[in-house]
Amino acid sequence: MRCLHGACERRYGIWADGSCFQKLIPTLRSEGHQVIAAQYGLDTLKGDVEATIRTIGRVSGPVVLVGHSYGGTVITRAGLDSRVAALVYIAALGPDETETSQGQQDKFPKTDVFKYVEVADGRVWMKPEGVSCFAGDLTADEQEIVWSTHFAPALDLFTQKLDGVAWRSKPSWSIVATQDRTVHPDLERFAAKRMGPKTVEIGSSHVAMMSNPRLVLEVIRSAADAVTDVRASKRA
């Protein structure tokens, strides 16, 4: 049974926007889910978490929060909201209470994409050459769109920290992108193991939801089904 009256909400990472979920949204909507991909400013972690919580109010619960990349940091904090029933991490960060996004990354080797960044106007931009590290298993046309629509985070975004860790109290699913050249796959494995046993590895670039949408959909369905089963058992 699908979570027909629940909702899936999506949080994207840096150098991406809500359009990176375009291959997932139509299918989930056709299956009866409400789906919304909030756009936030990548200015402050606090502001992005607040934007996520506001967006949760636009759909009915229970909510499955899906976070990609830096979006994992966002849902780790926003997922404490009582309307959130489950979390799905896609090639994502998942810092603990004492960690920042940057601190978590610093524990693992630097990935290739950071050879192709430029700081300008207080933000971190990806150079055109970097898109092959970010989304190398997409078609050339898709990579061009990803780069053309990418948005740069504030320079200090990854050093900001908020209290609270939702994955300690909410069921969590993790997708590890084994060919990731943006977030190191070993970081993703470490974070996934710490969150719990529900982990799937996909031979994918950083944007697994674009290059392997069917497999990502299966994981999101698993989370939605688990939420439905919990609701049904409570009503029984």
Sign of the four-CA dihedral 57, 59, 60, 63 = negative
Total length of the chain: 236
Distance CA(92)–CA(84), nearest Å, equals 18
The answer on pLDDT for 1 being more than 50 is no
pLDDT for the residue numbered 229: 61
* pLDDT confidence tier of residue 14, bands split at 50, 70 and 90: confident
* pLDDT confidence tier of residue 2, bands split at 50, 70 and 90: very low
Beta-carbon contacts of residue 163 (< 8 Å; ≥ 6 apart): 77, 97
User: Please, is 126 exposed, middle or buried when counting C-beta atoms within 10 Å of its C-beta (0-12, 13-18, 19+)?
Assistant: buried
The token pair at 206 is 């950083």
pTM of structure = 0.93
Topology at the third CATH level for domain 7-235: Rossmann fold (3.40.50)
> For residue range 197-223, what is the model confidence (pLDDT) as tens digits?
899 999 999 999 999 999 999 999 999
Is-cis flag, bond preceding 213, omega within 30?
A: no
pLDDT for the residue numbered 60: 85
Domain boundaries along the sequence of the chain: 7-235
What is the overall mean pLDDT for the chain? 91
> For residue range 146-156, what is the model confidence (pLDDT) as tens digits?
999 998 999 99
**pLDDT-wise least confident of 10-24, 100-114, 159-173:** 10-24
Distance CA(188)–CA(178), nearest Å, equals 9
The token pair at 27 is 């299918």
Angle at 192 between CA 190 and CA 197, to 5 degrees: 120
